[in-house]
Structures are given as C-alpha cells and as structure tokens.
Chain A
C-alpha cells in the first residue's frame, strides 16, 4: 500500500512537466511569465518604434511650462501663465470637491429614500420605489446632461435681472439663481489676521475653535457617563453641550467682525458673494440623485438584513423603540450598509470624470482634456490621469479594509 502514497520514483521525463502535479504549476507559471514578458516586450517595442517614427518622445517637461488657458472654477490661485502641473492640481482639487459634495448629498438622499421605501405609507414607499427604478436604470451621463440643460435652459440669465421691471428677481435679495450658477452671500472678516491676503488664517482659527468645542462636548458626555455609572442618574448635558458648541464660535466671529458679502448685479455678471458654477451644480446634483438611488437600495437591504428576532429580543429586554433602533438595529445594519456605501463613494469619484461633458474643470478636463490637447502629450497625460484615480481608489479601499476588519464579527 505504501507504494501508492509514495511519489513515483525514477528519472525525470519531459512529460512530467505537464502531467506531474509537482512540476505542473512551475510549468504554467513559467509559461505565463514568458507570455507576459513577450506581450510587454511587444508593446514596448511597438511604442518605441511608433514614437520614433512620429519623432516623439516620452517626457514630462510639459508639466512645468505655462498652461496658457484659463480655468473658471478654481480653489487655488491660478492664471493662464501658471504651469500645466498647477492646472492639474486645480483639476484634482475640483474633482475632490465635487466628489466630496456629491458623497454627502447622495448619502442624505439615499438614506432618506431607503428608509422611506420601507415606510408603511403605501404612497410614499411606491414613490420611492419609482425614484430608485427611474434613476438606477438610466445612464448617469444622460442625467448629467438633462440636469445641465435644465440649468441653462430653464434658469434665467443674469440679463433677466436687469432693468426696472426685471423678468427675474433674487430670492430674498440674497440668492440669485442664474443659468451660469447660483450666487449666495459669502462671509468675510473685517478684523483679524492676514486680511491683506484672503484671510484664510481666520478660517483656520474658527476651525480650531470648533475642534476644541468638539472635544469639550466629548469630555462633558464622558463625565455624564461616569456620573451615570456611579449614581444611576444622568445629568442633563444638552444645554452645556449647546453652549460649548455655539458660544465660543459666536464670540470669535463677533471679534473677527464677520460680515456678509451680498451678490449684486455688476456689468455682465453678479459680483460678490460665493458663486457655485452651473457645471458644478449639474454634476453635483446628478451624481447625488443617481448614486442616491443605489445607496437607497443598500440601506434598505441593510435594514432588512437585521432579523426581526433582534428587535423582538431587544423589546423583551425592555428597551424603548428609539433605543432599539440606535443600540440594536442600526449597529448591525451599518455593518451591512457601510461596505457597499464606500464602494458607491468610489463610484462617485470615478463618475465625476464625466465632468468633461458639462465643462466642469476636474482633473479629466484639465490634465486629460485641455492640457492633453494643447501639448499633444497623450500618453503622459493619460498615464498621470490613471495614476491619480488609482491612488484615490487604493486609498479608499485601504480605508474600507481597515473598517471591515474593525467591525468584523469577532468569533471566539
């Protein structure tokens, strides 16, 4: 019998490379390595002969030369004499901006729709089902174009606000909705540091105070918990917390002399205040409602995944309905909801590349669009573009893995 379990003895034969399980995997891997190397070599040879034939070369020097074009939506200083690299950074920040805004609103839409779809109100749940089906089954590009067209074709141009009997009026004299974007009052400081610049340091101070308030409320809550543990009575922390949140900020803003800059029609456009450009709104809103429909389905699945027994068991322990939701159902539902939610965030970031269809200056439109066209450096630009998106998605998936490990069911 032992002869069967022993590996076959004898000299090495060539057929063993494919028939003997000990060698077979090496054979396949060697084959794969050869094929891979051949493919890469083939592509490399083609690229170098093609480039040589066209008299081109691979070089990233163009990043340092002046871009030559202007960008209307920018979060950092930029003009047409700035470098292509700076134009790319403007694009990266714009991508991150629209992705962040859309993630927040998509979550709000998605959670609302997901919860309402489970509501026992027949009409509301049907309406939400309708919303989800309509938005999930129509391409996001069409949604972006539709909403952008609504923006420019339905909203009035700034010209309509002019004259004694204007066709359009500002909302409350504070907000202007035009087909170039929405203008809202913008805050600024009249006292404080660094006013010659853009006064960004003042905003950092405000942010610092808010962070301090956050830790302040954490401390108050911790002390309340300790008191409750010791005496069984929970002190009312609501007013203390509200005071910690609001009082210091209000005092600080007063000290810094906060004023509001109201948009006003000057020349061709509204001036003053904060402008949220039409392409940004179209992209932001379209990504939000489209992805919101997907998130709604995730939320619904998450809530339904918590078995009814859990709710009943919590009820049997004497928990009130609000506590059942926050202590029993939600923590379990979130475990199901969060991973797909994060991959939806990833999708938003990737879909934001459709900005190019509405002229929003994200990274695909600056680096992968205008810079690529003006310099003709197609290979370099596309590679940099992919590198950026890869980095973002690797960061997000790393974060997701850390989260998944931390909420994994701890089996002992």
Chain B
C-alpha cells in the first residue's frame, strides 16, 4: 500500500529528471536554486547557525554564484558533504558546485575529472598542539599521536612529512572536524593537523583558545577553491568569473557599501563599468543578466569583505590576510582582467 509513496517520489524524481539533461547553467536557472556542496560544519568557512542558516567564507562564494545566476543570494540549497561524499556528490550531479575548502591537486583535476575554477584561499597544512605539551616545532613530534581527517590530502601530506623527516607517529583517523576537536581536547591525540585556516577556525571555538598554539611548520601547499564537473565549460566559466568578479571588486575598491552608487550610472573607470554591467556586454556573453556581477558582489561584499566578515582578524578565527592579500599588496590574490 505504501508502494505509492515510493512511486509518487519516483514520479517526482522523474519530473525533475526531465529538466536535468541540459547544461548545468540552464538546470540551475530552471530549478531556481543552486545546489552548493559545503562542509558539514567548519566555523568561519561553512557552518549552520542555531537557526539553520548557513554562514561562512565558502558559503559566501555559493551565495555570490546564486546571486549572479538567479539574482537571489538566498536561492541556495546547501548540501553538507564529508571528505568521503563530496566528489561523488559532484560527479553524480547532486550538487552543481563544491565550495568546501577542497585542495586543487593534479589527480583531482585530471583523474577524477573535476575543474577547479580558481583559488579563493591559499592555505597550507599545519599542526595544532596544546601549549602544555612544550612542543615548538613539528619535528619534535617523534612518537606523537596525530589526529587527521580521513579522505583528505592532509592524510597523505602527513604520511609524506613524517616519512621524509624519518620520525614516527601514530595516526588517528577521524571523519569530521567535530570529532577531531573532541578527541584533541580529550587528549586522545597530541596534535591535530589539517589546513592552517581550519585549525584557526577550530581553535576559535575552544573554551580557552590561548592554551593552544599553531606550530610554525606549514608542511604543504593547499590551494583551496571551488570546483565543478569537467566538460561543462559554460557553467565553469560562470563560477570562475563570479569568483574573479569578487576579487576584481576588491582591487577596484567596489564594496557592498558603494556598489549601488557605482552601478547607478557609468563611472570614470571603464573596468568598473564593464564589471558592473553599465558598459559592455560581459553578462550576456556568460548568458546572465547585465548586472550579474553587481548582484554577486552585493550578496556578501567583495572578496576582502567576505574575508574580513567571516575569517578575518576581527573575527574569533582571526586569520591574517597573508598570502591571501591582493597582489597589489604583496599577496597572491589576482584576477584576470574584465575585458
């Protein structure tokens, strides 16, 4: 008798399947919402607040893309993924894009057939240790027990680092950041390793953040960025240029505060005009509204604003811009020109 729920659901699934065959950009427009894969919860990058509203740096990227494509920053379905499920979710089309501090590596790009559209955070793997342990360098960790998230590049980097330095360690595989935090605080592992930004975010949620230090070694390059499926270049371009729009906006001084004013009429700076759609046809080339970039920037501010609001030095996470400063200020954040 309950078969019918099943068939009803199948019928619904079949209906939604009909529309899913076209390109991702058309799918998203037809659906009216963007399915964006994020972490299951990493404060500052992507975490639901007490009301279930997602917030964070990666979430900001999702909202910007939704605003650019659909004109509505809230038209996003956030789909929490673990290290294990994220790639399958993207490959199978369950999510349209993945913004989940995922490291750009050769094999993920080439072998797993994904397309990294850019880098929104230059990170590296670090170690978090209690001050009381008296460790000042990761090379002092001989024989230590190390908590590490499974299914991530950090797990492989960790093995390489200890092997290269010829010191021994004992890995404790954990599934989510919350479990890592639990075990680290209980003392079940001496040190917790993941991306330095993630460590800072985790430490910020501790009761006494001052009792823990980040060891000076950064043992890997972890360029984190949003990614989409291989082979759908229109959609890849949309996400790539939305990210670039946020970066360019910071470079040109376009903020969520002055954007209304700048977009109202063409300004003296032709690049701002092209970016905000008051001149040129960049939006139409992407198949979007002329004001797509303006919507994206308005959603949460430009790159710098997103950074400061979610993970910057005035937040509990307190990350300095460092490598993630604008190229004009000695950092690596750089966008190709809007021309």
A/B contact in complex, CB under 8 angstroms: yes
CA distance A269 to B143 in the complex (A): 7
Q: From A179, A266, A267, A370, give the contact of B187 (CB < 8 A).
A: A179
A152 and B183 within 8 A (CB): yes
Closest chain-B Cβ to A361's Cβ sits at a distance in Å of: 7
Residues B156 and A153 in contact, CB atoms below 8 Å apart: no
Which DSSP category, helix, strand, loop or mixed, fits chain B's interface? mixed
Stretch at the interface among B49-57, B71-79, B172-180, B291-299: B172-180
A180→B188 contact, CB < 8 A? yes
In the complex, chain A residues 228-266 whose Cβ is within 8 Å of any chain B Cβ: 266
Contact assessment for A159 and B174 in the assembled complex, using a CB-CB cutoff below 8 Å: no
Q: Which residues of the partner chain B approach A365 to less than 8 Å between Cβ atoms?
A: 150, 173
B144, A268: Cβ atoms under 8 Å? yes
B87 (CB) vs chain A CBs: closest residue: A376
Q: What is the bound-complex CA distance between A29 and B207, given in angstroms?
A: 68
**Interface presence of B305 (CB below 8 A):** no
**A69 at the A/B interface (Cβ < 8 Å)?**
yes
At the interface, yes or no: B160 with Cβ under 8 Å from chain A?
yes
CB of B186 within 8 A of CB of A152, answer: yes
A70 adjacent to B159 (CB under 8 Å): yes
A interface size (C-beta, 8 A):
39
Question: Which residue among A70, A79, A152 has the maximum number of chain B CB atoms within 10 Å of its CB?
Answer: A70
Chain A 187-213 against B: per-residue CB contact (8 Å), 1 yes, 0 no?
000000000000000000000000000
Give the CA-CA distance A69 to B159 in the complex, in Å: 6
Encode A329-372 as 1/0 by CB contact (under 8 A) with B. 00000000000000000000000000011010100010001101
Bitwise interface map of B from 83 to 105 toward A, beta carbon under 8 Å scored 1, else 0: 11001100100000000000000
User: Taking A55-B230, A80-B163, A152-B186 as contacts, is the C-beta distance between A372 and B145 under 8 angstroms?
Assistant: no
Please tell me which one of the listed residues A159, A160, A267, A369 contacts residue B150 in the complex, with CB atoms under 8 A apart: A369
Give the complex CA separation of A17 and B144 in angstroms. 74
Binary per-residue interface labels of chain A (8-26) against chain B in the complex, 1 for a CB within 8 Å, 0 otherwise: 0000000000000000000
Q: Which residues of A contact B230 (CB under 8 A)?
A: 54-55
Residues on B with C-beta less than 8 A from A81 are: 163
Nearest-neighbor residue (CB-CB) of A79 within chain B:
B163
Contact of A271 among B143, B155, B162 (CB under 8 A): B143
A361 touches B173 (CB 8 A): yes
Known contacts being A72-B171, A356-B175, A359-B172, is A370 close to B145, with CB within 8 Å?
no
Check: A157 CB closer than 8 A to any chain B CB: yes
Given A55-B113, A68-B156, A180-B188, residue A370 in contact with residue B150 (CB < 8 A): yes
CA A126 to CA B173, docked complex, whole Å: 41
Give the total of B residues in contact with A, Cβ under 8 Å: 43
Question: Which residues of chain B come closer than 8 Å to A269, judged between CB atoms?
Answer: 143-145, 170
Interface bits A49-62 vs B (CB < 8 Å: 1, else 0): 00001111000000
- Cβ–Cβ contact A267 & B143, under 8 A: yes
The answer to whether B175 touches A159 (Cβ under 8 A) is no
Whether A376 and B151, one on each chain, are in contact in the complex, defined by CB atoms closer than 8 angstroms, is: no
Contacts of A303 in B (CB 8 A): none
Question: Which one of B145, B186, B229 has the highest number of Cβ atoms from chain A below 10 Å of its Cβ?
Answer: B186
Which single residue of chain B is at the shortest CB-CB distance from A56? B113
The CA of A153 and the CA of B142, in the complex, are separated in Å by 24
Known: A359-B174, A378-B88. A157 touches B186 (CB 8 A): yes
Would you give the 0/1 interface string for B180-191, flagging 1 where the beta carbon is closer than 8 Å to chain A? 001100111110
Residues of A within 8 A of B163 (CB): 79-81
CB contacts (< 8 Å) of A370 on chain B: these are: 150-151, 155, 173
User: A278 an interface residue at 8 Å Cβ cutoff?
Assistant: yes
| In contact, B87 and A268 (Cβ under 8 angstroms) | no
Kindly list chain B residues whose C-beta atoms are within 8 Å of the C-beta of A267.
142-144
Interface residue ranges of A131-178 to B (CB < 8 Å)? 152-153, 156-160
Q: Confirm or deny: B284 has a beta carbon within 8 angstroms of a beta carbon on chain A.
A: no
Chain B min CB distance to A280 (Å): 12
Could you tell me which B residues sit within 8 Å of A by CB distance? Answer: 83-84, 87-88, 91, 107, 111-113, 132-133, 141-145, 150-152, 155-156, 158-160, 162-163, 169-175, 182-183, 186-190, 229-231
19 residue pairs A–B, Cβ–Cβ below 8 Å: A68-B155, A68-B160, A70-B158, A70-B159, A70-B169, A71-B171, A72-B171, A152-B182, A152-B183, A157-B187, A159-B187, A267-B143, A269-B145, A356-B175, A357-B175, A365-B173, A369-B150, A373-B87, A373-B151
Given contact pairs A268-B133, A373-B87, enumerate 9 new A-B contacts (beta carbons under 8 Å).
A55-B230, A72-B170, A159-B132, A357-B175, A359-B174, A372-B84, A374-B155, A376-B111, A378-B88
Top 5 closest pairs, chain A to chain B, by CB? A157-B187, A373-B151, A80-B159, A267-B143, A268-B144
